[in-house]
Copies of this chain bind each other. A is one copy, B any other.
Amino acid sequence: MSDKGQMLKINLTDQKTERLTISDEWYRDYIGGEGFAAKILYDHLEVGLDPLSEKNMLVFTTGPLTGTKAPCSGRLCIGFKSPLTGTIGMSNVGGHLAPMIKKAGYEVIIVEGKSDNPVYIYINDDEVVFKDASHLWGLDTEKTEDRIREELGNEKVRIAEIGPAGENLVKFSAIMIDRHRAAGRGGAGAIMGSKNLKAMACFGSGQLHVDNMDSMNEFAEKARQELKDEAFAAGALKPFGTPSFMDSINALGLLPTKNWQHTTFDAMDTLGHVAYHEHLNVKPWACFGCPIACGRHTEIKDGEYKGESGGGPEYETLGAFGAKCYIKDLNAIAMANYICNRMGMDTISTGQVIATAMEWYEKGLIDDKTTEGIPLEFGNAESMVEMVRHIAMRKGYGDVLAEGSYRAAEKIGKNAQDYVFQIKGMELASCGVRASKGEALSHLISARGADHLRPFASVIDAFGYLEPELGINEKVSPFEDSNKKWVKPFMELSMLTNLLGVCLFASITLAVKGSTWTGLYNAATGNQENLTNMLKCAERVINLERMFNAREGFDRKDEKLPVRLSKEPAVDGLGKGNVANEAIMLDEFYEAMGWHLDTGLPSDEKLQELGLQ
């Protein structure tokens, strides 16, 4: 096995595989992970490609830290052109598959083409087998994992699979890993569905090569200590997982409630993190090499769904099915979450789509006839759960909602788009923007559409973290539209975690320092990089993704907030009275990025600086 690993190219049309070497220049310029995925997609996808055509690719990439002793190093990046947005699609997911891919000897797996019949791929070290999946087509993700493990007679295999939502080409369907970790955003599941690819199972027996194990041990210990020392990671994420965000985001006036009509939700007695841990049977769950173990495996303790269990609901799911849909019933939210996992569907988009439809219903834009008898009122937990099922199966009105809220609104016409919360076609996550302008900017500028993770700027806005390493030296008000230049280095640090194959959550509160990541990278690869160069690579990938989108026709006109957030002052919470002024934020940020103010596209100088001309 090469210490630089290999790139495995799998063509489903003719069931051929090819092994390619990754060039030194790629490693130098793009590091790995999302960098490689962006480069491959930019170089190989033709402009204007239908995302559901066989020419689309699924690019699975690991990073140089994936599977090493670096903490939180189980991340896998999946790149594709998104059927939801038409932009570059990047989904990042934890679990244990990414390290297994590396142990099988690969850093990148490209899947292209389309199978005539349902298949799954079994990668067993050097061997790649195409296996019939006709009998698995239609099975939910949990059953699919069980069957494949049984069929392969290998308990240790790690699997990425789709459920019925991906098969049904739901535009926000997910690829699921380890039963309940979701590569959720952007519709990667539908790409697998369109290729007749039910699953990719992988087993590797190799050992990872690390250049300098002593140095790796030293920096890994440093990173673990940084995670222990940081209050949020150690005091909130570890003991309470992402549900701990619920209370803080609500307190900050950032919780989009009743489809963003309010910014706080009087429901912490059922949806707060204490209630969550009391009302559900909860077990923490860790991805590969993670000392935080923010994942939650839950079981419903009472009521109609008693005994149902699965991964999550994570914070975003509580926000999407809870706050946005105005539902206080934790059990129903957990059930909706389990269904999404089993069907293979992004909970964030699913919840937002339903919340939007609930407001259409409230405003009389749709009615019982539209929904085929489902009373889609805010707060109706039963209707919400039923609609989740309908979307996954494209039943009744679920077939329309499965196209995403933007397309569903187009079908209604009138003022339906006023209640849609999307940017570039992607539904917003549960993080408000009128009390965190950094968050507003994150959503606006992200390549994959509305994005709360690149970076998770509200964390910096809310807690006022400073980071001299990144040049973030003074606190600024989260309510100010100006002074958002700090988002640039923070965004680069976030992207860097995606290039390295480690988890954003280790960096989200600047727990693990950029310099520590750099030390780990040098130990793993034998390079002698510094943080500045690493962040430059991250900037390169950000610009490359922007160029991908530019040639698909995206520019400044597409970086627009939903009208309620930019025009209607918040009615409650810390941001009460505020709107988000996107023009101010974008002008300032484009300038910091070296992007043209009129188009938002990289200047020639910037491209030259990054070697992207």
A residues lining the B interface (CB < 8 Å): 135, 137-140, 143, 164, 301-304, 306-307, 368, 373-375, 393
Contact = CB atoms under 8 A, between A and B. Distances in A.
Contact of A143 (B138, B140, B307, B373): B307
Contact of A373 (B139, B302, B304, B368): B368
Contacts of A374: 373
A164 B368 CA distance: 30
A525 to B, nearest CB: 44
A135 B300 CA distance: 11
Nearest to A140: B307
Closest 7 CB pairs of A and B: A138-B306, A373-B373, A143-B307, A139-B307, A139-B306, A138-B302, A304-B393
A301 B373 CA distance: 29
Nearest to A142: B307
A509 to B, nearest CB: 37
A375 B368 CA distance: 12
B307 A138 contact: yes
A413 to B, nearest CB: 26
A306 B137 CA distance: 8
A401 B164 CA distance: 33
Contacts of A138: 302-303, 306-307
Contacts of A393: 304
17 contacts: A135-B301, A137-B306, A138-B302, A138-B303, A138-B306, A138-B307, A139-B306, A139-B307, A140-B307, A143-B307, A164-B304, A164-B306, A304-B393, A368-B373, A373-B373, A373-B374, A373-B375
Contacts of A368: 373
A368 B368 CA distance: 12
Contacts of A139: 306-307
Query: Which of A140, A373, A375 has the most B CB atoms < 10 Å from its CB?
Result: A373
A306 B306 CA distance: 22
Nearest to A301: B135
Contacts of A301: 135
Given A368-B373, A373-B373, 13 more contacts: A135-B301, A137-B306, A138-B302, A138-B307, A139-B306, A139-B307, A140-B307, A143-B307, A164-B304, A164-B306, A304-B393, A373-B374, A373-B375
Contacts of A302: 138
Contacts of A373: 368, 373-375
A368 B375 CA distance: 12
Nearest to A306: B138
Contacts of A304: 164, 393
A308 to B, nearest CB: 9
Task: Name, among A138, A301, A307, the residue most crowded by chain B CB atoms within 10 Å (CB to CB).
Answer: A307
A311 B384 CA distance: 30
A358 to B, nearest CB: 16
Contacts of A135: 301
Nearest to A302: B138
Contacts of A140: 307
A349 to B, nearest CB: 21
Contacts of A307: 138-140, 143
Nearest to A392: B304
A367 to B, nearest CB: 12
A138 B393 CA distance: 27
A102 to B, nearest CB: 31
A501 B368 CA distance: 54
